[in-house]
Structure 1
């Protein structure tokens, strides 16, 4: 039995390839070893679905946010090993998942726009270049936490249009104090800030909300895509909920910058499942 995971900071998609070729799936919380210890991840992995298959899982392929450095991969591997003591565990970066799922065996630029953001230049076989990914405090341009932070900042400074502010207050009933408590005192502020993107997307026909995404996407292009060699001649692909549910704005921003967007998918788990089925 093979277990595949595609994990971001907000959620993890799990797929099981059974010996007879059938597939089962489960969606759970996200993990990121930059912000969580192996003990914290292991605690959250103790979910009924995973515990029910722990004894029979022989191979695990975990693709995750924050899993580029060896020490971070080791953190995730330790957490998984406590739940799956009999499995061979392979940890890879979420960029590899994005590249395999969108580029296949063809060259291209693969990007992630979910809670956070990231990108890579893929030559059809391997990742040949990446950009820095400093996280939600210093980077993550275009990602959910980045866009949500802009919204919350404008709310606190009273820099948003009156009608959007009224709709925001009616839906969430927030105050500056509540927001700051979540951002500075409670765990996973990146998830909290990204959670407001649903509101922004629902109101994306409003020029203010449209601009929040449009300008953030332009910043992503400038910090990431434009830094790769021959970027205008390569197909650019995206995975992630922010890209998927705001694809019209993303494609317009890319068109205005002369970029060639090819695929935009919500998550790469289906492509990863096909990729690993030949392991049986």
Structure 2
């Protein structure tokens, strides 16, 4: 059996290609070796679905956020090895997953807009150029943490429509003190900030909420996509929940700066599964 995983900071999608060709799936917690040790990652992997596959797995292909550096890849591989010691394990960056799932064997620009954000220029075989991806403090334009942070900052400074502020108070019992406690004192502040994107998406017909996404997407396009050579003549595709659930705004933001959006997927896992099936 072959296991394929696509992991972001918030969730991991798993697919298993069984020896008879059948495919099973599972969604679990997300991992990022920049913020978690191999021991922490390994302990979170020990859920019922993954433990049930022990002894049967011969190959694991893991694509994850924070897995660009060899040292980080080894951290994740070590965690997987603790679960499947006899398997051949390959760990790669989530950008590779985005490129393979959206572009396949064709050239294009592949982007990620989930909890965080990233991008690459892909020639159909390999990634030929990337932009810096310094995480949610210095970057992640267009990603969920970036959009959520803008919302929470506006809440703290009372720079949002009264009905939006009331909705946040009613739904989350939100206060400035609670926001600061979550962001500065508790783990995974990026996940916390990104968690408000569902609230914003549900109200995107409101001009304020629409603008939060539109401006954030414009920031992403100018900082990432528009830095690639000949970007206007290349298909640009996106993966990630933020892109998927706000695709109408994303396409508008892209069209306004002359960018052609080819494909928007919530998750790259289906495309990755097809990619690896063809490689068998």
Same fold (TM over 0.5): yes
1:97 aligned counterpart, secondary structure: helix
- Residue 182 of structure 1 is matched in structure 2 by 182
Unaligned runs of 5+ in 2: none
User: What does 1:186-201 correspond to in 2, within 5 Å?
Assistant: 186-201=186-201
- Residue 152 of structure 1 is matched in structure 2 by 152
- Residue 238 of structure 2 is matched in structure 1 by 238
- Residue 261 of structure 1 is matched in structure 2 by 261
User: What does 1:10-21 correspond to in 2, within 5 Å?
Assistant: 10-21=10-21
1:151 aligned counterpart, secondary structure: helix
How far apart are the structure 2 equivalents of 1:84 and 1:166? 49
1:178 is displaced (CA, Å) by 1.1
TM-score using structure 2 length: 0.99
1:3 aligned counterpart, secondary structure: strand
- Residue 92 of structure 1 is matched in structure 2 by 92
- Residue 34 of structure 1 is matched in structure 2 by 34
- Residue 46 of structure 2 is matched in structure 1 by 46
- Residue 68 of structure 2 is matched in structure 1 by 68
1:11 is displaced (CA, Å) by 0.3
1:141-172 residue CA offsets vs partner (Å, 9 max, x unmatched): 00000000000111011111111111111111
Give yes or no for the alignment of 1:172 onto 2:146. Answer: no
1:180 is displaced (CA, Å) by 1.1
1:207 is displaced (CA, Å) by 0.5
- Residue 272 of structure 2 is matched in structure 1 by 272
1:279 is displaced (CA, Å) by 4.8
- Residue 102 of structure 1 is matched in structure 2 by 102
1:278 is displaced (CA, Å) by 3.8
- Residue 161 of structure 1 is matched in structure 2 by 161
1:89-120 residue CA offsets vs partner (Å, 9 max, x unmatched): 00011001100111111110000000000000
How far apart are the structure 1 equivalents of 2:182 and 2:75? 26
1:246 is displaced (CA, Å) by 0.1
2:24 aligned counterpart, secondary structure: strand
How far apart are the structure 2 equivalents of 1:184 and 1:43? 25
How far apart are the structure 1 equivalents of 2:129 and 2:81? 31
RMSD (CA atoms): 0.7
1:185 is displaced (CA, Å) by 1.0
How far apart are the structure 2 equivalents of 1:262 and 1:155? 35
How far apart are the structure 1 equivalents of 2:213 and 2:279? 40
Give yes or no for the alignment of 1:214 onto 2:214. Answer: yes
- Residue 127 of structure 2 is matched in structure 1 by 127
1:146 aligned counterpart, secondary structure: helix
Aligned residue pairs: how many? 280
How far apart are the structure 2 equivalents of 1:193 and 1:256? 27
1:23-59 residue CA offsets vs partner (Å, 9 max, x unmatched): 0000000001111111111111111100110211110
2:136 aligned counterpart, secondary structure: helix
Does the CA contact (< 8 Å) of 2:104 and 2:275 recur in 1? no
